[in-house]
Structure 1
Amino acid sequence: MSWARREPGLVVSRGAAAARRGGGGSDGLGRVHGVDVLRGFALFGILLVNAQLMAGPYTAFGGGPDASGIDRAAAWAVTATTTVYQLLSFLFGYSFVLQRRAAGKAGAAFAAQHLRRTAGLFALGLAHAVLLYPGDILMTYAALALVLYGLRDLGPRAALRVAVCLVAGLAVLLLGYGLATVALTEPLTPARYAPQVADAVAAYRGGALSVIGAHLRELPTALGANLMYAPDMLAAFLAGLAAAKAGLVERRGRDRVWLRRTAARWLPVGLAGGAVTACCANGPLDSRWFLVGHAVSLLTAPALTVSYACGVLLLADALRPAAGVLAASGRMALSHYLTQSLVLACVFTGYGLGLYDRVGTAVVLAGCVPLYGLQLALGAWLMNRVRYGPAELVLRTVTLARRPAPGPSSPGPRPAADGPLPVP
């Protein structure tokens, strides 16, 4: 039995129009409240992961050889429970369909808009990588967005089949390479990589030019890692595309029975896989098991992502004011993402306090809580006064090749041509 009907270039759920109200519904002109809520929630996970990576060479692994037990436990817990980039990639694919739909309603040339949007996103990502954080994801998203455009007419089932093949293929490759690494190599010892770590620490504690030089040296490695995981990101894009064409968030965003049942079904699978990944990446297994753990994560992280999404939408339906705050930050997620990197760079590098490799993992993670709270408060305040966040305004201007038309700052009626942006 068909679960959707096809309209020109898109698949639209039969129940989407009736569900465009409440926590998961659409404003009828492009934005879907539930998608903004999920994006606002995912910002916290991004902060937890990126803060560890920007704080020092060992922080994401619980500290160096002499790290405390609480630092190791904190890093282990974050690895076991965090799947933020997969959720954001899913939301990127979901927003792609909303943007295409909005352009069609406005009679705009979506191909030209999409090309300008991806170029703007790539430029922002390049500046972000060079100046603030070489582990940037925006450039990779921009490149994969072009691939997504080529796959834009896939139906929901076909998109999901391609996504499954991409994830399974990458998992098999990582598992094979990881097992070969375990069988054929010796564990790394601190003495083997101590000189490289010392050079990185000195560079990040130096002046602005020293920090930028460190970013440029690390950028090829970071891009290579993103390239390796590109099939997984594209798979999440396609899952989001399939869900948007079926109007999943609009139809199920306030269906509490379905949300509870889905979360309960997939949470144990996701947490079990996360525990295996953490054991391989953060101990007790040694560094040779890293890729084996990530192969497991590729297969089980979707279950954890689905569980989190359902749980957040449940809470959003029960706690409407909190959902509004999350949605406001979700509407300016790109600005928040870049602001997080700016604050972290000022804290940990020579741009500011120079605390690189001087703060334990537990303290770094604890510091993320007030920063995220401040971002939520700022997002709620700003979105009541302006229509776009600063980075969103820049990207929207590039996308439309003109300054966006003035409109209301709240999530009320707005021109369809100014539908939601793809944000990280």
Structure 2
Amino acid sequence: MFPDRGVQPARVPRLPDVDALRGFALLGICLVNAPVIAGAWSLVEGAGAAPWDRTAAWLVTALVTTKFYLLFAFLFGHGFVFQEAAARRDGVPFARRHARRLLGLFLLGLAHALLLYVGDILMTYAVLGLVLFAVRKADPRALLGMAVALVVLLTAVFVVIGLVASGTEGAGQVSAHALKEMQARQSAWFRGGAGGVVHANIAAYRQAFAGALLYGPHLLAAMLTGLAAARLGWLDPARSTPPSAAGRRLLRLGLLIGLPGGVLTAMCSYGPLDARYYYLGQAVDILTAPALSAAYATVLLSLLHGRFGPRIAGALAPAGRMSLSNYLFQSAALAFVFTGYGLARYGTLGPAALACGCVVLWAAQLAVSARWMPHVRYGPVENVLRRVTGGRRRHRSADVLAASSKARPR
């Protein structure tokens, strides 16, 4: 039923905690991406929106939006160190391997954006990966300083935009007639055939590109923090584990800063504050979301090192090991349900029902990944990216018995 894992050459070991964090973050990514692919946000506009849908949109904005893409970006930066170590292990130039990997990510992201989801993040990762390479030898404290500076500067930019918008009557507001026309046009495109979906994604890409430029520094700050964390061994299993005193302080700080910030951001997006305050809400989100992301990670790490840690890791880590495949599959599954690729239910399901569906989809991914990963080294898309990167080939002369013993489900 499953492919044979085959022979396992010596390699840089994986960190189960990191894989579990990736598996957990997949839920947040799905909750944020799904409403865009499904056209669900159109159902919370205007006075006729169902209260449960407005509540769901408000909660997702307060607790999920931004927080989980920062967590994934942190883990991307963290993994950079291990990619470099793997290149040294294989005796190949890291610059060449890294460039090929980033090219593969960019091409995957381009296909993802055109065919499935215009809000793709992989192309942004590929571009920012060049920056990581440029600063890879910087001192960890310098990396953390750059991350803080990026967050503060981006916050200041949004504060300026927000102050201008808040003093302008009608800023950020679209007439009901224009909004209805735009939503009808998008629905027609996304409910049409494959050509309509691609056309809609291309039409929306200018806005998506502007968003990537504007929010890119926020992602880069998280990546730099992840790179510094790997250099300092923050997630090294050999270190003292949460709940340490430092872990408890980080959790308190994250909740005290991150939760109020998320609430204020949601108030600026879905009320009671009106659209004039949207960009001020975004400034608050940029400044405080990293704190809530850190709090989420701290809670999960504490659970992983608690009584039920092995069970939690067993549920989350396999999905995290194939997080790229799962990320793309989420988009494919949602596109099949909501666009002309399949059932064409675009704009028919509100945020509340969609959030429940996201939990079901994520749970299914956890189950499938847990069944699949004990029998393979990589997820399907990860394997393709590895081939593009030029990863180390397996050698048949290695110890088959040792490899087969590792293939038992855990």
Question: Which residue is 2:31 aligned to?
Answer: 48
Q: SS at 1:343's partner residue?
A: helix
* Distance across 2 between alignment mates of 1:167 and 1:331: 29
Once the 2 structures are TM-superposed, how far is the Cα of residue 360 of structure 1 from its aligned partner? Answer: 1.3
1:156 to 136, 140, 156: 140
2:292 to 294, 304, 312: 304
Question: Which residue is 2:350 aligned to?
Answer: 360
Question: Which residue is 2:278 aligned to?
Answer: 290
Q: SS at 1:58's partner residue?
A: helix
* Distance across 1 between alignment mates of 2:406 and 2:257: 36
Going from structure 1 to structure 2, the CA distance change for 1:329 and 1:50 (only over 3 Å counts) comes to: same
Answer with 101-110 or 338-347: which moved more.
101-110
User: How many residues matched?
Assistant: 385
Residue pairs, 1:26-41, within 5 angstroms: 29-41=12-24
1:80 to 62, 83, 94: 62
AA in 2 matched with 1:256: P
Once the 2 structures are TM-superposed, how far is the Cα of residue 28 of structure 1 from its aligned partner? Answer: 8.1
Are the equivalent residues in 2 in contact too, given 1:39–1:330 (CA < 8 A)? yes
Are the equivalent residues in 2 in contact too, given 1:128–1:136 (CA < 8 A)? yes
Question: Which residue is 2:302 aligned to?
Answer: 314
Going from structure 1 to structure 2, the CA distance change for 1:80 and 1:411 (only over 3 Å counts) comes to: farther
Question: Which residue is 1:267 aligned to?
Answer: 255
2:176 to 180, 190, 214: 190
Question: Which residue is 1:326 aligned to?
Answer: 316
Once the 2 structures are TM-superposed, how far is the Cα of residue 103 of structure 1 from its aligned partner? Answer: 1.8
**TM-score, scaled relative to structure 2:** 0.89
Report runs of 4+ in structure 1 exceeding 6 Å deviation. 409-412
**Corresponding position: 1:242 with 2:224:** no
* Distance across 2 between alignment mates of 1:410 and 1:190: 63
Question: Which residue is 1:69 aligned to?
Answer: 51
Structure 2 unaligned segments of length 5 or more: list them. 1-9
Question: Which residue is 1:278 aligned to?
Answer: 266
* Distance across 2 between alignment mates of 1:203 and 1:281: 26
**Corresponding position: 1:166 with 2:154:** no
* Distance across 1 between alignment mates of 2:164 and 2:242: 46
Question: Which residue is 1:387 aligned to?
Answer: 377
Question: Which residue is 1:144 aligned to?
Answer: 128
Once the 2 structures are TM-superposed, how far is the Cα of residue 191 of structure 1 from its aligned partner? Answer: 2.1
Are the equivalent residues in 2 in contact too, given 1:325–1:380 (CA < 8 A)? yes
1:101-159, Cα deviation, whole Å (9 max, x unpaired) = 22223322111100000000000001111111111000011011011100111111000
Once the 2 structures are TM-superposed, how far is the Cα of residue 310 of structure 1 from its aligned partner? Answer: 0.6
Once the 2 structures are TM-superposed, how far is the Cα of residue 404 of structure 1 from its aligned partner? Answer: 5.7
Once the 2 structures are TM-superposed, how far is the Cα of residue 57 of structure 1 from its aligned partner? Answer: 5.8
Answer with 256-265 or 152-161: which moved more.
256-265
1:328-387, Cα deviation, whole Å (9 max, x unpaired) = 110000000000000000111111111111111100111111111000001111101111
Once the 2 structures are TM-superposed, how far is the Cα of residue 220 of structure 1 from its aligned partner? Answer: 2.0
Residue pairs, 1:409-424, within 5 angstroms: none
CA-atom RMSD in angstroms: 2.0
1:128 to 109, 112, 115: 112
Once the 2 structures are TM-superposed, how far is the Cα of residue 403 of structure 1 from its aligned partner? Answer: 5.5
1:167-225, Cα deviation, whole Å (9 max, x unpaired) = 11111011101110121241333223221221111111111111111111112211210
Once the 2 structures are TM-superposed, how far is the Cα of residue 392 of structure 1 from its aligned partner? Answer: 0.2
Going from structure 1 to structure 2, the CA distance change for 1:230 and 1:182 (only over 3 Å counts) comes to: same
Identity, % of aligned positions: 47
* Distance across 1 between alignment mates of 2:305 and 2:37: 35
AA in 1 matched with 2:52: I
Question: Which residue is 1:338 aligned to?
Answer: 328
* Distance across 1 between alignment mates of 2:372 and 2:16: 17
AA in 2 matched with 1:53: V
Are the equivalent residues in 2 in contact too, given 1:175–1:292 (CA < 8 A)? yes
AA in 2 matched with 1:331: R
Structure 1 unaligned segments of length 5 or more: list them. 1-26, 413-424
Once the 2 structures are TM-superposed, how far is the Cα of residue 252 of structure 1 from its aligned partner? Answer: 4.8
1:53-105, Cα deviation, whole Å (9 max, x unpaired) = 1111625x835541111110111011111111000010000000111122223
Question: Which residue is 1:257 aligned to?
Answer: 244
